[in-house]
Amino acid sequence: MAEVELRNVSKSFDKEIGIADVSLTINDGDFVVLLGPTGAGKTTTLRCIAGLEKPEVGEILIDGLNVVDESPAQRDVAMVFQQYSLYPHLTVRENLEFPLKSPILKTPPDVMKKKVGEVAEVLRISHKLDNKATALSGGEMQRVSMGRALVRNPRIFLMDEPLSSLDAKLRGELRTELKRIQAELGATILYVTHDQIEAMTLATQIGVLHKGRLEQFGTPREIYETPASQYVATRLGSPRINTLPVELFGDAPTGATTIGLRPEHISLGDGQECKVTRVEHLGDQTRLHLRLIDHNIITLTEPHTKIQVGDVVAIRPKNPLFFDANGSLIV
């Protein structure tokens, strides 16, 4: 596997910014997730590393060597897409063998058989090797798609929302499997998603992108607890962080215009009075929707609460975040 570094990389399309001045380091064995909405620059970053797009500015280093002018094949990276990218007329075994038959790799038959067997075992699809791709479930097809990348043993895996077309249950199962596979192989992975749950559960490091710029790069805990900006704060957490005028609660630092309160960072019992507009019982917790003057707030309470719609409750901030007029965190 390898270390990958981006240094001040920029790429535009006509007059539209793809990515702008992006710098980050993916250490050997890291599972890095790029998080952001459509158009944030996630896939453009991936394609620049893969060699499918060439940046106008900046360097892309793989194990210390600048590969900006190298072809995708020379970079020895593997991409896994949202679409399964399988050959439907071939068996699972033949699909897994296909990358190894390229003129560049020239894999001997005995080595090919060994690699396919090992990858099939890791992916737990050994019993499906002689099945046609069309006979597989969605989850099995995505495993084979990942297997086509794994057999090559590339320096880095680039994954572009590989689970987004699957249903919620299957996504959860494959998230667990993907993390297991990465740990077993010590693989270096750059993974693109707009799903915050995927980012929080898979990543060793998260990069939050916004309009082509890297807003923050850090561990999931760092980004959740100390977001660099109001934008970053809204990308992680469900329900989303409550953002309110600081005047509602007072005791704000100089320059603060907005207070950020995650639902679990609101204490019930004293403070500002709110009216309960909705109660959601979720089994392990209860979600309260509150109205404070003209502002909606969501907080959490214990599962067997007796609070009902129409009740008045008092709240106060606990571990609040403060942001200035530009949306930057005030530390």
Cis omega (within 30 of 0) for bond into 239: yes
Nearest by Cα to 161 from 40, 33, 20: 33
> Can you read off the two tokens belonging to residue 166?
């699957």
Residues 6+ apart with CB under 8 A from 306: none
pLDDT of amino acid 220: 96
pTM assigned to the model: 0.88
* Distance, C-alpha 80 to centroid of its chain: 14
The Cα–Cα gap between 226 and 217 comes to 11
Q: Does pLDDT of 50 surpass 80?
A: yes
Taking the C-alpha atoms of residue 255 and residue 170, their distance in angstroms, rounded to an integer, is 46
Which stretch of 164-173, 202-211, 256-265, 267-276 has the lowest confidence by average pLDDT?
A: 164-173
Q: Is the pLDDT of residue 329 over 80?
A: yes
Strand order in the sheet with 242-245: 242-245, 258-261, 321-323
Q: Where are the alpha helices (DSSP H) in 210-302?
A: 220-225, 230-235
Is 187:204 a contact under the CB 8 Å cutoff?
Answer: no
Quote the pLDDT of residue 86.
Answer: 86
pLDDT above 90 as % of the chain? 71
Q: Which residues pair with 229 in a beta bridge?
A: 328
Burial group, residue 21, by CB count within 10 angstroms (0-12, 13-18, 19+) = middle
Compute the distance between CA of residue 37 and CA of residue 134 in angstroms, rounded to an integer.
Answer: 32
Top mean pLDDT of 72-76, 161-165, 266-270 is at 266-270
CA distance 310 to 275: 6
Mean pLDDT in residue range 186-202: 93
Range with the poorest average pLDDT among 9-18, 152-161, 309-318: 152-161
- Average pLDDT estimate for 250-257: 92
- pLDDT of 205 above 80: yes
What pLDDT is recorded for position 32? Answer: 97
pLDDT of residue 190: 96
Instruction: Give the domains, in start order, of the chain with CATH numbers.
Output: 4-234 (3.40.50.300), 241-323 (2.40.50.140)
Instruction: Report the distance separating Cα 137 and Cα 54, nearest Å.
Output: 36
Residues 243, 258: contact at Cβ < 8 Å? yes
Model pLDDT, residue 180: 87
Note the pLDDT tens digit of each residue in 52-68: 999 999 999 999 999 99
SS3 151: coil
> Which range is most confident: 1-5, 112-116, 298-302?
298-302
Average per-residue pLDDT for the chain: 92
pLDDT at 291 > cutoff 80: yes
Rounded CA separation 235/81 (Å): 23
| pLDDT, tens digit, 9 for 90 and up, residues 74-125 | 898 998 887 777 888 999 999 999 988 887 778 899 999 998 998 888 888 8
Confidence of residue 23 (pLDDT cuts 50, 70, 90): very high
